[in-house]
Amino acid sequence: MSEHTILVIEDEPQIRRVVRHALAEEGVRIIEAETGRDGIDLAAAERPWLVVLDLGLSDTAGITVCREIRKWAIMPIIVLSARHAESEKVALLEAGADDYVTKPFSPAELRARVNAQLRRARLSEAGATDGLIRINGLEIDPGARVLRREGQELHLTATEWDVLRVLLRNAGRTLTHQQIFRAVWPGSPGDPQQYLRVYVARLRRKLEADPIRPRLIVTEMGVGYRFAAMT
């Protein structure tokens, strides 16, 4: 059944093994491709629920594979990379990848990211995007623009709501600064960094119990932000 198929595109057999063991569970079927070319073909043929793509492939650049798959499929793509350059992460997220895991990673880390993506995909399928959200003692109603902490109403400005809604709609997925900026200020030629990061900092101070140890809005330094995955 395709909803339990995960495609792993990775040329090193040891890493394939690691990923296989990390994600294997009851009802999950793992298919593997050794080259980018094979990966694209397999993705088209099998239509998996999620793709794990390594960037250091021997035949094609990972970003090319990502763009190619994105032309005709919307399933989540999680990218694995040994290089830690933030510019590379940003480029991949903008090319359509949904998350980015750097080596060496622990199987638990990979599992958590995969589950977050699958949850998000399931939620967006179900259409539950602007509904009421209860998390960490907060009650968030994006539709009505009402925010409460333990019954007390908190005030957010219109722009803060816009930013929050973009994050909520993509909960569990890392968004780049550019992506958030384009969603909140469409068509604006301005410089995202000037405003966006400070807005998010203010938002965090209002939402989080401890802004220094945020549980809801996670910063990926140099890349963007991610709203915590919701069950």
Partner 1 sequence: MLTWLALLLGVTIALSLLQARLEKAHMALAYLLLVLFGSSRGGRPIGLSLAVLAFLCFNFFLLPPHYTFRVHEPLDWLVLISFLITAIVGAELLDKAQRQTRAATQRAEEIDRLSMLGAETLNAGRAEEAVWAIAAVIRTTLDLGSCEIYGPAGEQFRCIAAVRRDGFSPSQNGRLESLVPEVLNHGRVVLLQADGTVILDEHGPESVSEILARRTDAFGWLIPLRVRGRAVGILRIEDQVAVRPDAAGRRFAEALSFYAALGVERVRLLAEAEHVAALREADRLKDALMAAVSHDLRTPLTTIKAVGHEILRDGDDRAALVIEEADRLNRVVSDLLDMSRLNSGGIPLNLELNPADDLVAAAVQQTAGVLGDHELQVSIPEADILVGRFDPVHSVRALSNLVHNAAKYSPPGAPIRLTLERVADMLRLVVEDRGKGVPADQTERIFEPFVRLDGGTHGGGSGLGLSIARRLAEAQGGRVYYQDRPGGGSRFVLELPAAELPVWED
Contact residues toward partner 1 (CB under 8 A) are 12, 14-15, 17-18, 21-22, 56, 82-84, 86-87, 103-108, 157-159, 193-195, 197-198, 200-202, 204-205, 211-214, 219, 221-222
Sheet holding 224-227: strands in order across? 174-176, 224-227, 217-220
Q: Which is nearer to partner 1, 71 or 155 (CB)?
A: 155
Q: Which is nearer to partner 1, 89 or 120 (CB)?
A: 89
CB of 37 within 8 A of CB of 60? yes
Q: Which is nearer to partner 1, 2 or 193 (CB)?
A: 193
State the minimum distance, in angstroms, from the CB of residue 153 to partner 1.
19
Residue type, 35: T
Structure-block tokens of residue 17:
């093994």
CB of 17 within 8 A of CB of 23? no
Q: Which is nearer to partner 1, 152 or 194 (CB)?
A: 194
CB of 84 within 8 A of CB of 71? no
CB of 9 within 8 A of CB of 33? yes
State the minimum distance, in angstroms, from the CB of residue 100 to partner 1.
14
State the minimum distance, in angstroms, from the CB of residue 128 to partner 1.
29
Q: Which is nearer to partner 1, 15 or 66 (CB)?
A: 15
State the minimum distance, in angstroms, from the CB of residue 126 to partner 1.
31
State the minimum distance, in angstroms, from the CB of residue 2 to partner 1.
26
Question: Counting Cβ atoms within 10 Å, is residue 228 exposed (0-12), middle (13-18) or buried (19+)?
Answer: middle
Which of 117, 122, 149 has the alpha carbon at shortest distance from 133?
A: 149
